[in-house]
Structure 1
Amino acid sequence: MTEGQSASLSAAEVERLINGDHNDPFAVLGPHSDPDGDGLQVRVLLPGATAVDLLHSETSDCLLSLQPVHPAGLFEGYLEGRQQPFAYRLRASWGPAQAVLHDPYRFPACLAPEQLYYLAEGTEEFAWRLLGANTRVVDGVAGVLFAVWAPNARRVSVVGDFNDWNGCRHPMRLHPSSGVWELFIPELPDGTLYKYEILGPRGVLLPLKADPYARGMQHPPQTASRVVAEGAFQWGDGAWLERRAANHAVAQPISIYEVHAGSWRRREAEGNRYLSYLEMAEELLPYVREQGFTHIQLMPVSEYPFDGSWGYQPLGLYAPSIRFGTPDEFRRFVDTCHAEGIGVLLDWVPGHFPTDPHGLGRFDGTALYEHADRRQGFHPDWNTLIYNYGRGEVVSYLISNANYWLEEFHLDGLRVDAVASMLYLDYSRREGEWIANLHGGRENLEAITLLKEVNRRIYARHPGVLMVAEESTAWPGVSQPVDSGGLGFGFKWNMGWMNDSLRYMERDPVHRRFHHDEMTFGIVYAWDENFVLPLSHDEVVHGKRSLLFKMPGDDWQQFANLRAFLAFMWGYPGKKLLFMGGEFAQRREWNHDRGLDWHLLEEPAHRGVQQLVRDLNAVYRSLAALHRHDCEDGGFNWLQANQRDLSVFAWLRWGGEGQPPVLVIANFTPRVHHGYCVGAPLSGWYEECINSDASAYGGSGQGNLGGAQTLPQPADGQPCSLQLTVPPLATLILVHRPDR
């Protein structure tokens, strides 16, 4: 061959290349040594280009003008005297317009097969560092390494504004052993929009796909993925992380404020826009601290296409939602929370994903992330797809994602959504609509293995975080360690307590005596798990009414019932969770399109509930008896569990040696009980630290003038007793003060 001479490609191969049907572009594009000569063949595909020159990388001297092979933009040339690939650049002309660029096809593969082994095995914990769009420097050139798992595709290309969304411009290299495609594209800036163009196994071009590992996405309803450059965020939360494990022990007070980032507060004067992550750090965080909560739990912020899903149908599992700001701004929010002593939990959704065409569904033209059989792969409740938990790459995707949020954003734990739907193969399915496991049972063995593995790995890598299960059945050992036969969560939502107690509170007081067991039964199983008592967003939507309007009676009675119930909850064993708005008695149901009704705080009754929650958090955190034995027997005993006709409940909480006992008494009728006798374990003064009927909270002001002195008469199995005024529709919390 002589310099400039065209090499021969078969017409069929040329057609495959320019038509985007070539599954091995690196075999024909870029530099190739000539085995029969002393030269280097260079071939370039630049759709629409009219001329292409090969330039010296450092001097920009023209080494060779490539010859057109096909009018679609295929050029090639031959350099004699060079047998090894070398650094060069291309000067391409599109008519009068010119650009100098690097050739992606001159760079070597960046992913070695051994790196992808653990991904396929299902044990990779850092998959986002292999797949997705990762900024890299290769051969001294900065760029972005794109990598995506699509084992059944005939061709995968990266498309974006940088190549006019033309899939013929940047087809990717396949690693056949793993089914991962990769391509390093030089000099792409931070924020570059991109998707994957995939030719399915039958030669059908699929809808453009967002990157499953994208760390940023366009603002919905736009759907492109976004390159997010690896930054150097300066964390300042080292001290928080060092003491986190101690703060999260089951004996510590944990009081969680559940927040939907899009509707806690809105800027109504600015088009009803969301608060940003930075604005939440300025406004939400001080409020949470003032109210005395220990943690914020965010409903999902991993990117989701439909606002009405509240984030529970995520499509960008690795992308903090751009609705509220950039990933680094989310980091700043978390860092600021930690600086103020507030932990941050995140709702995590590994149970299902939406069917949007740009999402994970039939990602490479086949059922890849989901089961192919709808009896396992489709969720009838939510019209979503279910992950294939038996596929190693899917397991690595999910394990890595759990690790990602804790590793990259320093989150303090994950609340795992809809665990019950993962555990049971027949969840929400009729007979014949589900497939039994290999033992003929209904348990989803693969999902169980995944949950155990996620918890095992997360606790090993991030000691002291909180892994919390929203699990609504009696599955045993949800919060027991994996090596003890449990699922390995740290805590479980107590859905039984929530359902029973709300059902009781909704009843007219005249009927409550017939349903007394709804408030006492929970103690029977209170220490079977490490429980969180949840009053979550699910209880104040879809016609269920707000907490306030669940309560019976007139306006005053509704407020009194709510105050009594909240104080009952804070005195009851279990960590606490309250959805935003409940702390000031939001009247209407929660609406994700509106901010909370903060104007209600102009009314004393609403301010009273807010002050009560603030005081409840304060006593909960300060009195060991109210939190130390939340999750173990020995710190609770009934004083009066059978006062059905009076609808009165009384119990003791113990904090251990040297800690004063606490007495809780609740009256769920409108009747005041004067001189009411209740047992006390120690003689002396009992300070009334909470009276939900106090005038300051909007109550009638009935009470005990700050406390009561014991009498020597035994009662309720205790050596002495108290004679108390028990207010109407109210809960009292009294603590023993021996030195008074």
Structure 2
Amino acid sequence: MRQGSVESIVAGPTESWQRADPGAVQAIVEGRHGDPFAVLGMHGGGDQPLVVRTFQPGARTVRVLMDERLVTELERTHPAGFFEGPIPRHRERFAYRLRVGWSDGDRDIEDPYRFPPVLGDMDVYLLAEGTHLRLYEKLGAHPRELEGVSGTSFAVWAPNASRVSVIGDFNGWDGRRHPMRKRVEAGVWEIFLPGVEPGALYKFELLGPSGELLPQKADPFAFATERPPSTASVVHGLVDWRFEDAAWLARRRAGDHRMKPISIYECHVGSWRRVPAEGNRQLTWRELADTLVPYVAEMGFTHLELLPISEHPFEGSWGYQPIGLFAPSSRFGSPADFACFVDRCHQAGIGILLDWVPGHFPTDIHGLGRFDGTALYEHEDPRLGFHQDWSTFIYNFGRREVANFLWSNALFWLDRFHVDGLRVDAVASMLYLDYSRKPGEWIPNIHGGRENLEAIHFLRRLNELAYGEYPGIVTVAEESTAWPAVSRPVYLGGLGFGFKWNMGWMHDTLRYMSKEPIHRKHHMNDLTFGLMYAWSENFVLPLSHDEVVHGKGSLINKMPGDVWQKAANLRAYFAFMWTYPGKKLLFMGGEFGQWREWNHDSSLDWHLLDEGPYHKGLQSLVRDLNRLYREASALHELDCEPGGFEWIDCSDIEHSVIAYLRKSRDPDRFVVVVCNFTPVPRHGYRIGVPHTGLYRERVNTDAGEYGGSGVGNAGGVEAEPVASHGRPASLCLTLPPLATLILEPAASSPG
């Protein structure tokens, strides 16, 4: 804002001019006018005298400047601060500024109401149609330059509001100061505010359809926010980060993810590691880039999956009740910090998956609920629009603008932050209209069924867009029912996801492992049943955060027996998991056997790695399993095809021993897996194999380096020409107690 003397003041008589309608003026000063651009700014021209009108509450004087020349002083026609007046000797509109006199002096400002619309006609058309794939480039707050003036453009969808204003620390949070222009074709309100810079705090103030004042709303498209519990949006604009991951993105596009090794470390970044010496604070994205990224790389995981990082008001929701879908949580730094973190992951050879929550949103008053005084993002009827389990609102997937909002958000993370995929939360709750509802508490679809047809279309289109716009990414469904073809292409009638969590496998096998070994022979079906449907979907085997919270205990504490047996059971189970068909997912802390349940308010118990051999040994095993899984094509190449698995023996129920082959497309490359789920060592145990020769013991979970007893086969066994299990050769093995062996023909193993 500029101050200074004026070069000249144009004086003299002016033509007659018409003052603004008193009713319109009263509506402006009371903050009730729904079309402020029809009143404020410059009007007239040509045959009509030019008139400037402005509302400056508390101002003493307002003058109009052209360049540095003062062309007129406006008259205060309403005591609340409404000023207006003609522009003498001018017929053509021009760029002007206002010199506003306050009690502490004059300040020069740009008038927001002299600027043209922010959104182009095509943007408005696509917004109304619900097909604008880059909504985040238009809605929200965008620092920019308009007609040579720097400021910020704001745009928000609120079709049923009678007035929408931008409020913030730049206008005293006064909703009368900056009411917005409504683009009636799309129900979007917009304005350009000169002088508003990045870092400014803001919200939207809305009047509902009947003129009622609504709770102040955060920007649904905010790219940054105040740190919770504060709730204001922060002017930021789209992240500007110069990624150095071109080589990674090129590798990502190559090949079929179903044939690649995918081993995922699931992480809640706020509790992976904390800084006790500084008030138990969370690490920042930059600190996580220096610590978490090298740890995940050294452990051999291919991907890092982050629990939702979109801004969320309640820490205890773990991010699953987000409000700022376009804002990386301010708890960990700026959007640029998060972009840096992703870039560092890619440079370390690690993919990033984000947990994404399109199924529901929280009821916090500054959020999306009844955003413009109506059920805008949600359904009006609670039988469709309210989630009883989580006390949240359910998106109205059948409303094109809502679906467009969510599709655009998914593409935003893939586009602006180069993330490698999305794990979509709670898909089952989206697919079924009667999900967790009793009879009479839900509304059937148009065919009388329980399927949510709008959600099905939404998910299919989501996957079409994600894979079509960003080849090489993956989408993963957390879907817990028997819904068919979740991970089959849309053109084949599927939902189009790349993978689906195998919740059945997780529940069955954990139930089996929780049994005392003496009882396991009665429950072998829990281990083997999963092979009946293992290739009906492209599966991820999840040992996720959900299994170590809410009284379920940690993974190691689910295992029976004393400390040694618990560790041995978990080691055997991990090796079984890493050799079972399907991609892998393990929640943080499980890799070293944390005893207590996960607590989002504290760090993992890293000190356990210095206490005895079991935790360090378990961590070493997971590292070695990941390396073998990536190295041996037989363990990942045919994860999603029945040709990649073959039973050797699943009938030794009495001894609780199973044996199987994992195979690659190359018939000479396979591994032999034998699991002994009892604490009894077994000597001279014969297993049929495809051919004779030396079989190297690639992993023995009872090895001393893993904290085991050291029982095994001295690193390898020579297969004998003795037929067994329908095969021409066999291995005579020593099976360690509570252990899994992974063996590979020496001819096909490296080195």
Q: TM-score, normalised by structure 1?
A: 0.98
Matched, 1:53 2:67: no
- Residue in 2 that maps onto 1:88: 96
Q: 1:248 & 1:296 partners in 2: Cα distance?
A: 19
Match of 2:683 among 661, 670, 674: 674
Residue 626 of structure 2 is aligned to residue 634 of structure 1 = no
Quick check: 1:532–1:577 contact (8 Å CA) kept in 2? Answer: yes
Per the TM alignment, residue 245 of structure 1 is displaced from its structure 2 partner at its CA by 2.3
* Residue 444 in structure 1 maps to residue 455 in structure 2: no
- Alignment partners' CA distance in 2, 1:732 and 1:4: 98
For residue 645 of structure 1, report the CA deviation from its aligned partner: 1.2
CA 1:231–1:454: 2 relative to 1, 3 Å: closer
CA-atom RMSD, angstroms? 1.4
| Residue of 455, 464, 472 corresponding to 2:472 | 464
Hey, what does 1:692 align to over in structure 2? 701
1:644 aligns with 2:653: yes
Pick one of 16, 25, 42 that aligns with 2:52.
42
Match of 1:406 in 2: 414
Amino acid across the alignment from 1:312 = Y
Q: Structure 1 residue 141: deviation in Å? A: 1.1
* Counterpart in the other structure of 1:126: 134
For residue 97 of structure 1, report the CA deviation from its aligned partner. 3.4
Cross-structure match for 2:7: none
In structure 1, the residue matched to 2:726 is: 717
Matched, 1:561 2:572: no
Amino acid of the residue matched to residue 573 of structure 1? P
Deviation at 1:249, TM superposition (A): 1.9
Deviates more, 1:633-642 or 1:91-100: 91-100
Partner of 2:443: 435
Match of 1:314 among 315, 318, 322: 322
1: CA distance, partners of 2:237 / 2:315: 27
Residues 35-75 of structure 1, C-alpha deviations (whole Å, 9 max, x = no match):
753x310001111111111112x3x2211111111121111
Structure 2 counterpart of 1:303: 311
User: 2:3 matched to which residue of 1?
Assistant: none
* CA-CA distance at 1:610 after TM superposition: 0.2
**1:163 aligned counterpart, secondary structure:** coil
Paired letter, 1:503: R
| Counterpart pick for 1:526 among 534, 550, 564 | 534
Displacement of 1:9: 2.5
8 Å contact 1:4–1:77 — kept in the other structure? no
**Distance change >3 Å, CA 363–CA 241, structure 1 → 2:** same
- Report the residue type matching 2:284 in the other structure: S
Answer yes or no: is the 8 Å Cα contact 2:695–2:746 preserved in 1: yes
On the 8 A contact 1:119/1:392 being kept in 2, the answer is no
Deviation at 1:11, TM superposition (A): 2.5
CA drift of 1:80 comes to 2.5
- Gaps (5+ residues) in structure 1? none
Pick which of 204-213 and 89-98 moved more: 89-98
Q: SS of the counterpart of 2:666?
A: coil
State the shift of 1:123 in Å: 2.0
Matched, 1:735 2:741: no
Counterpart for residue 330 of structure 1: 338
Match of residue 552 from structure 1: 560
* Contact 1:124/1:399, CA 8 A, preserved across alignment: no
Q: What's the secondary structure of 2:342's corresponding residue? A: helix
Letter in 2 for 1:536: S
Match of 1:706 in 2: 715
| 1:386 matched residue in structure 2 | 394
Q: 1:214 aligns with which of 196, 212, 222?
A: 222
Per-residue Cα deviation, 1:638-677 (whole angstroms, up to 9, x for no partner): 0111111111111001112265210001111111111101
Structure-2 residue corresponding to 1:145? 153
> 2:240–2:336: 8 Å Cα contact kept in structure 1?
no
Residues 229 and 131 of structure 1, relative CA distance in 2, 3 Å threshold: closer
Per the TM alignment, residue 83 of structure 1 is displaced from its structure 2 partner at its CA by 2.8
Per-residue deviation at 1:449?
0.2
2: CA distance, partners of 1:519 / 1:621: 24
Following superposition, the deviation at residue 231 of structure 1 comes to: 5.2
2: CA distance between counterparts of 1:133 and 1:739?
58
Counterpart contact for 2:312–2:324, Cα < 8 Å: yes
The letter for the 2-side match of 1:13 is A
From 9, 15, 32, the counterpart of 2:26: 15
Q: Is the 8 A contact 1:480 1:486 kept in 2?
A: yes
Determine whether 1:654 maps to 2:687. Answer: no
Runs of 4+ in 1 over 6 A off after TM superposition: none
Contact 2:56-2:81 within 8 A present in 1 as well: yes
Counterpart amino acid of residue 660 in structure 1 = R
Answer with 564-573 or 116-125: which moved more.
Answer: 116-125
2:525 is aligned with 1:514:
no
Among 241, 246, 253, the alignment partner of 2:249 is: 241
Q: Secondary structure at the match of 1:733?
A: strand
Fraction of identical pairs, as percent: 59
- Deviation sequence 1:618-639 (CA, Å, 0-9, x none): 1000000000000111111001
Structure 1 residues 124, 140: CA separation in 2 closer, same or farther (over 3 Å shift)? same
Work out whether 1:664 is the aligned partner of 2:673. yes
* C-alpha displacement of 1:91: 1.3
* Matched ranges for 1:600-619 at <5 A: 600-603=608-611, 604-619=613-628
Gap runs ≥5 in structure 2: 1-11
- Compute the displacement of 1:115 (Å): 1.3
How far is the alpha carbon of 1:81 from its aligned partner? 2.8
Q: How far apart, in 1, do the equivalents of 2:173 and 2:191 lie? A: 16
Match of 1:159 in 2: 167
Count how many residue pairs are aligned between Structure 1 and Structure 2: 737
Deviations 1:482-524 (CA, angstroms, capped at 9, x unpaired) = 0010000001010000010011111111111111000000011
Residue 662 of structure 1 aligns to a residue in which SS? strand
CA contact (8 A) 2:646 2:660 kept: yes
Instruction: Provide the residue aligned with 1:66 in structure 2.
Output: 74
* CA distance in 2 between partners of 1:128 and 1:739 (Å): 51
Q: What residue number does 1:75 align with?
A: 83
| Separation (CA, whole Å) in 2 of partners of 1:491 and 1:179 | 37
Question: Which residue among 606, 609, 613 is the counterpart of 1:598?
Answer: 606
Partner of 2:183: 175
1:516-571, CA deviations, whole angstroms, 9 ceiling, x for partnerless residues?
00000001111111100000000000000000000011111100000010011001
How far is 1:120 from its partner? 2.7
Q: What is the aligned partner in structure 2 of residue 27 from structure 1?
A: 38
Q: What TM-score, normalized by structure 2, do the two folds share?
A: 0.97
Structure-1 residue corresponding to 2:368:
360
Q: What are the residue-to-residue correspondences of 1:578-589 with 2, within 5 Å?
A: 578-589=586-597
Alpha-carbon distance in 2 for matches of 1:271, 1:335: 29
| SS in structure 2 at match of 1:460 | helix
1: CA distance, partners of 2:233 / 2:210: 26
- Are 2:47 and 2:91, in contact at CA under 8 Å, matched by a contact in 1? no
3-state SS of paired residue (2:331): coil
User: How far apart in 2 are the matches of 1:135 and 1:89?
Assistant: 20
Any idea what SS the aligned residue of 1:441 has? coil
Q: Corresponding residue for 2:4?
A: none
User: Does the 8 Å contact 1:468/1:492 carry over to 2?
Assistant: yes
Tell me, yes or no, if the aligned pair for 1:352 and 1:387 is still in contact at 8 Å: yes
2:451 counterpart letter in structure 1: E
Supply the distance in 2 between the matched residues of 1:617 and 1:247 (Cα, whole angstroms): 20
Displacement of 1:112: 3.0
CA distance in 2, matches of 1:120, 1:67: 40
